[in-house]
Amino acid sequence: MDAIGIPSLDLADFTTGNAKQRENFVRDLGKAYEEIGFVAIRNHGLSDDLVDSLYQEVQKFFSLPVEVKKKYEQPELAGQRGYVSFGKEHAKGRNAGDLKEFWQFGQYEVQAEDTASDHYPDNIMVDELPEFNRRGKEAYQTLERTGLHMLRALALYIGLDENYFESHVQAGNSILRAIHYPPITQDPGDAVRAAEHEDINLITLLMGASADGLQVLNRNSQWVSVTALPDMIVVNVGDMLQRLTNNRLRSTTHRVINPPQSEWAKPRFSIPFFLHPRSDMPLNCLSQCIDDSRPKAYEDITAGEYLDERLREIGLKK
């Protein structure tokens, strides 16, 4: 257990390590995802230059006038591309909107002949900030590759072929989300920066945020603060992977709390990558994860059907 509050692992042990290193990485990753659902990963492929420059561009975008940002908001896309204005999204089961605004980059590598191309809207380009577009694409594609390495290790842990997930996530419906939690200017009441929730997708890869606030609920029902160290990203299980593994791997509840009142004037920026499969991937519980002690817990559903259901629950889709 690292000082940041969750287990830390080196992805290079899996991608370039010897057989023993790979075996240990697979075991330790699977164990961490069964117990807490979060790990910190070093050697993840993101350069310091890319992270720093992307955060600079994200701050430039959210500093644009509201009327400029709203040019890039298209509600008919259910928040899946472009800008989503402040307070639009809320956690499942809550009415108060989260104290955030955000931008979403989507899939780039879809060929015209691929059936997935019918389901994905085009990415929205910000005319005022060409580097925002370029750096967003670079980070998206880097984290997509990193996520696939993580899924290969998880496939081995579950007892699947190492490449089981590859065809399901190639040209998948993944999202890179840049989030701005603005300064809090008045008593927020019940609203928080991000209320307790679980992620929808397979896994989430989160580069270090600009300020503290992320907390994870552990098995003892205690909130544990999580801060990614400069050379690490945080990677957690989403509901799709929990469902696929019949609750063997844990999609852990987490939140972003409001800072102390003395720090209300300080904004927070965060950039998670939500790794989604293609919409046609079945999320049916894997036979490897069903037995007498763990009977099948979920009805069969596709990733696309599940995503639609969840987007409605959080207020992004009507």
C-beta of residue 246 within 8 angstroms of C-beta of residue 289: yes
- Cα distance between the two ends of the chain: 42
Q: Measuring CA to CA, which residue among 307, 299, 282 is closest to residue 119?
A: 307
Q: Return the pLDDT at 118.
A: 58
CA distance 250 to 307: 18
pLDDT confidence of residue 191: 81
Q: Tokens 């390495």: give the residue.
A: 149
| pTM score above 0.85 | yes
DSSP state of 98: P
Report the alpha-carbon distance of residue 257 to residue 56 in Å, rounded: 23
Identify the DSSP state of 120: P
Strands 203-207 and 232-237: antiparallel
**Strand 38-42 with 232-237, pairing:** antiparallel
What SS3 class is residue 116? helix
Q: How many CA atoms lie within 13 A of 88 on its CB side?
A: 21
Structure tokens at 61: 């975008």
| Whole-number pLDDT of residue 222 | 85
pLDDT at 115: 58
Q: Which amino acid is at 171?
A: A
What pLDDT does 219 receive?
Answer: 79
How many CA atoms, within 13 angstroms, populate the side-chain half-sphere of residue 157?
22
The letter for the amino acid at 125 is: M
> Phi, psi (5° rounding) for residue 149?
-60, -45
User: How many Å apart are CA 139 and CA 146, to the nearest integer?
Assistant: 10
E-strand stretches of 11-137: 38-42, 82-84, 101-105
Report the C-alpha gap between 284 and 254 in whole angstroms.
25
Cross-strand bridge partners of residue 103: 83, 178
Cβ(38)–Cβ(140) below 8 Å = no
Output the pLDDT for position 79: 84
Closest CA to 144 of 187, 173, 180: 173
CA 264 to each of CA 195, 196, 226, 261: distance values in angstroms, whole numbers, following the listed order: 17, 20, 20, 5
Q: What does the pLDDT read at residue 314?
A: 77
| 275 DSSP β-pair partners | 203
Do residues 141 and 45 touch, judged by C-beta distance below 8 A? no
Other CB atoms within a 10 A radius of the CB of residue 243 amount to 22
Q: According to the model, what pLDDT value does residue 5 have?
A: 65
State which fold the 8-313 domain adopts: Jelly Rolls (2.60.120)
For the chain, residues with pLDDT lower than 50 are: 1-3
Residue 1 has what pLDDT? 38
- Which are the contacts of 102, defined by CB distance < 8 A and separation ≥ 6? 79, 83, 84, 89, 177, 178, 179, 180
Per-domain residue ranges for the chain? 8-313
Supply the pLDDT for residue 189. Answer: 83
Query: How far, in Å, are 81, 250, 316 from residue 74 at the CA level?
Result: 8, 33, 11
Radius of gyration of the chain (CA): 19
